[in-house]
């Protein structure tokens, strides 16, 4: 996956082996990664990298717009690349996650900005609820409870 690394250089930042390794790890991941997961993968690429370096680098990459940090329901901050703007639906019961394209929420973002005067600069929102399977289980459990 190609990243706009020239953005970092243009802003006067170095492309350190640590930054490159972490960007590569995020780009190759097929899911959100916790800092600990990034660390376990990064230390293979850059022996001697510390967990503190991973945390600092993830924060730096998020500040520079190359990584997205998000809370997706497990109470822990997770990271992914900032290549595609998207959002999530997370089931409170089973923690299943569904990706929502940003284009589907543009109208909502515009309405909120107009109504509140805020300029929304976050491109990651997580909505919580119950997935269809958990809704079915809940209805079945309620029906069973009524029969008892």
- pLDDT tens for residues 1-37? 445 677 778 888 888 899 999 999 998 887 889 999 9
Longest dimension (CA), the chain: 69
The fold of 1-83 is Arc Repressor Mutant, subunit A (1.10.10)
pLDDT tens, position by position, 94-138? 988 888 888 899 999 999 999 999 998 777 788 889 999 999 998
Distances (CA, A) of 98 to 28, 89, 140, 145: 19, 5, 23, 30
pTM over 0.85: no
Q: Of 3.30.70.260, 3.20.20.70, 3.30.1490.190, 3.40.30.10, which CATH number belongs to 84-148? A: 3.30.1490.190
Backbone angles phi, psi at 127, to 5 degrees: -105, 140
- Domain residue ranges in the chain: 1-83, 84-148
The helix (H) or strand (E) run that includes residue 68 is strand 67-71
Distance CA(127)–CA(62), nearest Å, equals 21
């Amino acid at each position: 996956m190609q990243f706009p690394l020239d953005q970092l250089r243009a802003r006067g930042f170095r492309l350190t082996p640590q930054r490159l390794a972490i960007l590569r790890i995020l780009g190759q991941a097929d899911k959100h990664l916790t800092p600990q997961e990034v660390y376990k993968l990064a230390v293979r690429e850059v022996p001697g990298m510390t967990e503190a370096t991973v945390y600092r680098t993830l924060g730096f990459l998020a500040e520079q717009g190359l990584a997205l940090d998000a809370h997706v329901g497990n109470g822990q901050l997770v990271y992914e690349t900032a290549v595609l703007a998207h959002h999530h639906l997370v089931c409170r019961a089973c923690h299943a996650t569904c990706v929502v394209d940003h284009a589907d929420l543009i109208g909502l973002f515009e309405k909120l900005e107009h109504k509140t005067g805020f300029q929304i600069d976050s491109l990651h929102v997580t909505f919580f609820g119950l997935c269809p399977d958990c809704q079915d289980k809940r209805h079945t459990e309620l029906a069973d409870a009524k029969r008892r």
